[in-house]
Chain A
Amino acid sequence: MTHSATVANHEHGPAKGLSRWLFTTNHKDIGTMYLVFSLCMLFIGGAMAFVIRAELFQPGLQLIEPDFFNQMITMHGLIMVFGAVMPAFVGLANWMIPLMIGAPDMALPRLNNLSFWILPFAFLMMLSTLFMDGGGPNFGWTFYAPLSTTYAPPSVTFFIFTVHMMGLSSIMGAINVVVTILNMRAPGMTLMKMPMFCWTWLITAFLLIAVMPVLGGVVTMMLMDVHFGTSFFDAGGGGDPVLFQHVFWFFGHPEVYIMILPSFGVVSEVLPTFARKRLFGYTSMVYAIVAIAVLSFVVWAHHMFTVGMPLAGELFFMYTTMLIAVPTGVKIFNWVSTMFKSSMTFETPMLFALAFVILFTVGGLSGIMLALAPVDFVYHDTYFVVAHFHYVLVPGAIFGIFAAVYYWLPKWCGRMYDESIAKLHFWLSFIGLNITFFPMHFVGLAGMPRRIPDYSLQFADFNMIISMGAFLFGMSQLVFVYNLFKTLRSGEKSAHRPWEGAHGLEWTVETPAPYHTFATPPKVD
């Protein structure tokens, strides 16, 4: 695929000062804001993880009381899911989709600005609940009723409003992505010529539009139960707590694919570049993403195997959940085939992408184990599940984000990051996360439940190791921040195409990318 380079439009540069950021409609600025916001949230959520692991370092209650512990695990989950992972991917979408499809900006720039600015406001509200009377949300990020309705602290109302706002932000962002991708591709760029990152975001955006409103619905039902005397989830009024779980997980399961699909897209960009070889099986990869997205709608009750479903229900959800392994496996095999008989170098983005393939597979395999309903009776609500989802989210989603940031940072800021420091960040993170999350499989199998601030003595040794790993992993992220500052201040100037094997429209613009790009669409054949 050849393409002509475009001349950046220098009619006017960005505004100056705070108003630049408050009122910008520029996809690059908005992308940057999402990414900075997400990094801040990563540290806040990470600080909560520190508190959790500090308390779990030894048996007994040393530092905090159980109710505050429950607030920490709840907020850690909410912040990481809705504040760190999702906004990071939206930030990447904002920065890269227009550049990858040869568009001057997103289709709905003002909506884009609103979508971002809702978030700091929403999270300020959510974090402030920790200081309210009765404390913040303490019912888990999955907030099952009636613990989150009848038995919730007063701050639950603010929690509900926060979710409404985050949901609106995500839905509007997703609409923006779909409209941009479907309408603004450069002439000649058919859907099947589009970069994989754009494909994964297109599908992710459809998932967001379909399921975030359902989350909005379920928290509205909660609001009505708490304040307006309805009984959606209260058996006394004719309702059913299990209804909550069905509606929540109808959102919740596609949500976890929303969190991983863009990461798949990043890996599909990074691996071919550093392997100097085209992505293997592009068409199958596209079909696999679509299959995963469609299947994600019919597996939700695998989170509810112990709720008392009849046999037919358990079997149905067991089979559909096992089925999702097929398109996922196809993707992994395609990535390995991309590497096979290639010519690889191992710069930091590649290291993160390779670690993704290995460790996401580990998480995916524990997922197959969890899919088997009768064995899930033993795994459910234990640390085995915690291990599983942290493997798919940390070396899965988060490593995808790091790979993307290292990969595209030179284009964003015109400077090359320090490769040695970056590699240090990678190795410390890799070692740290494995020390943290691998032993969780063991304690979970040995019988340690989730969401407990104190545990019986036979789990002590592994928990100490897990906490040490967590501290290592957390501190390693400071290496990343240091590298970021060092790069922005004094990094070596980067070439337009710093990676030899990189192909794609984004590499044809100047480095750093000019404020406005592709004012005239490039020709793609």
Chain B
Amino acid sequence: MNKRLSMLNRRITFSLILSLLPTSVWAAWQMNMNRGVTDNSVAIYDLHMIVFYICVVISVIVFGLMFWSIFHHRKSKGAVAHQFYESTSIEIIWTLVPIVILVAIAVPATSTLLDTYDHSESDIDIQVTGYQWKWRYKYIGEDIDFFSVLTTPDEEIHNKKEKNPNYLLEVDKPLVVPINKKIRFLFTSNDVIHAWWVPDLALKKDAIPGFINESSTKINTPGIYRGQCAELCGKNHGFMPIVVKAVTETEYIAWLATQKVEKAKMASASKKTWALAELITKGEQVYNKNCMACHLDTGMGIPPVFPALKDSSIVKGSLEAHLDIVLNGKSGTAMSAFGSQLSATEIAAVVTYERNAWGNNMGDFIQPADVENLMGAAK
């Protein structure tokens, strides 16, 4: 029985010590949450540690008494049972004392919670939409709207290649925000309930289809902060990470400018005429990032839910029908409407790729400009 006492105490002591060390050193064996980089995250961390220590003290007292009793009040040691079995005064004491302790905890808990509901006006508002299985960020008041998709290669996931240090926590386009500015996020979802979570910001909020939720943060330190979806949302729930890149205000303004340039480049890219080979090369990239998860790199898919594209009657059929499915999805199935997720160039490229890959060899292709006409005006 002493074994149990020392084992438990050792664990508690170890974790207490570890919780004081910088967590980056212990990344592989991290036992505690990070303090994070916002005022809220630090307050939450402190509250967590307070209640943790209180729980440790309670455990030590209760288990200590138990183990003492197990050791001393054993029949094999000749202990004789004292027949006492009630005491109103002690019942009252051990009802009131916990209530006092709980009230003491409730005070900082309430004030920390109040801080997260701070309604001071935000500097930047960002609309965050959860999709199956990626995030979409739109900066309100700026013409910036992009998807953020996992970029960990399939070979790493299926153990054909060694995993990189940011395995499953890397995206193509991170969310770039300035430090020291209040950022208000508006969360919603395109399909099922997702949740946006970045541990270093101590920010987690559900993204609910048809409704918006809000939560704010103000990041104190520049850096890259990674998070994950935190509500089961289907097949690739574990594969839709979040990367927040917090930069200085100057860098942020510069980034805003580059986004405008990017947008112009994309617009002109869709105006030019592409060769078949160019479309196929680009299309393969687009396919690997957006389609491979369900339709597989072999194009074989996972029927019946994710049909094969190789030798598919749709892919080898009319270009219009094929395009229609890619643009508008297929309701009642898991096929999304990629018209709102990919640019005209990307759609033209991926459709061309699918029609020519895996031996489909249709030889036809479509220009981004034609796709753009189909996608309609304001986007």
Contacts and interface: CB of A to CB of B under 8 A. Distances in A.
B223 interface: no
Interface of B: 4, 8, 11, 15, 23, 27-34, 40, 43-44, 47-48, 51-52, 55, 58-59, 62-63, 65-66, 69-70, 73-76, 79-87, 90-91, 94-95, 98-99, 102, 105-106, 109-110, 112-117, 132, 156-159, 163, 165-169, 187, 191-193, 195, 197, 199, 202-206, 208-211, 213-214, 227-239, 302, 304-305, 334
Contact of B235 (A60, A70, A354): A70
Contacts of A332: 62
Given A60-B158, A60-B163, A454-B168, A373 B109 contact: yes
Contact of B95 (A278, A315, A326): A326
Given A332-B62, A343-B74, A277 B82 contact: yes
Interface in A292-342: 306-308, 311, 314-315, 318-319, 322-323, 325-326, 329-330, 332-333, 336-342
A374 B197 contact: no
Nearest to B68: A340
A378 interface: yes
A457 interface: yes
A173 interface: no
A451 B237 contact: yes
A441 B48 CA distance: 13
B234 A147 contact: yes
Contact of A276 (B29, B75, B334): B75
B116 A374 contact: yes
A343 to B, nearest CB: 4
Contact of B232 (A133, A139, A284): A139
Contacts of A424: none
A147 B235 CA distance: 11
Interface of A: 59-62, 65-67, 70, 133-134, 138-140, 144, 146-147, 150-151, 234-236, 240-242, 275-284, 306-308, 311, 314-315, 318-319, 322-323, 325-326, 329-330, 332-333, 336-346, 354, 357-358, 361-362, 365-366, 368-369, 372-375, 377-378, 380-382, 438, 441-442, 445-447, 449-458, 460-462
Nearest to B33: A445
Contact of A61 (B157, B204, B230): B157
Given A330-B94, A345-B74, A457-B163, A369 B55 contact: yes
Given A326-B102, A329-B94, A369-B48, A241 B82 contact: no
A281 B86 contact: yes
Given A70-B237, A358-B8, A442-B30, 17 more contacts: A61-B158, A150-B192, A241-B208, A282-B86, A325-B102, A341-B81, A344-B79, A361-B63, A377-B203, A378-B202, A380-B204, A442-B32, A449-B228, A451-B238, A453-B238, A456-B166, A462-B29
B167 A377 contact: no
Given A236-B210, A318-B106, A457-B163, A281 B202 contact: no
A60 B85 CA distance: 56
Contact of A146 (B48, B70, B209): B209
A60 B75 CA distance: 53
A290 to B, nearest CB: 14
Given A377-B203, A445-B31, A311 B44 contact: no
A144 B230 contact: no
Nearest to B208: A241
B67 to A, nearest CB: 9
Contacts of A279: 85
Contacts of B210: 234-236, 240-241
Contact of B211 (A150, A235, A455): A235
B157 A336 contact: no
B84 A341 contact: yes
- Which of A60, A134, A377, A461 has the most CB atoms of chain B within a 10 A radius of its CB? A377
B195 A306 contact: yes
A59 B211 contact: no
A342 B192 contact: no
Contacts of A150: 192
A461 B28 contact: yes
A330 B113 contact: no
22 contacts: A61-B158, A67-B235, A139-B232, A236-B210, A240-B211, A276-B81, A277-B81, A280-B86, A284-B86, A306-B205, A308-B205, A322-B105, A322-B106, A344-B70, A358-B66, A375-B44, A375-B47, A378-B204, A445-B33, A449-B228, A449-B238, A456-B166
Contacts of A456: 166-169
Contacts of A241: 193, 208-211
A372 B202 CA distance: 14
A284 B109 contact: no
Contacts of B211: 235, 240-242, 308
A150 B192 CA distance: 9
Contacts of B15: 442
A457 B165 CA distance: 7
- Which of A283, A340, A354, A441 has the most CB atoms of chain B within a 10 A radius of its CB? A340
B159 A62 contact: yes
A108 B343 CA distance: 68
A202 B80 CA distance: 34
Contacts of A445: 30-33
A51 to B, nearest CB: 16
A283 B86 contact: yes
Contacts of A276: 75, 81
A306 B208 contact: no
A242 B238 contact: no
B82 A342 contact: yes
A343 B76 CA distance: 8
Contacts of B232: 70, 139-140, 144, 147, 450-451
- Which of A365, A447, A451 has the most CB atoms of chain B within a 10 A radius of its CB? A447
A372 B51 contact: yes
B28 A59 contact: no
- Which of B62, B83, B115, B203 has the most CB atoms of chain A within a 10 A radius of its CB? B62
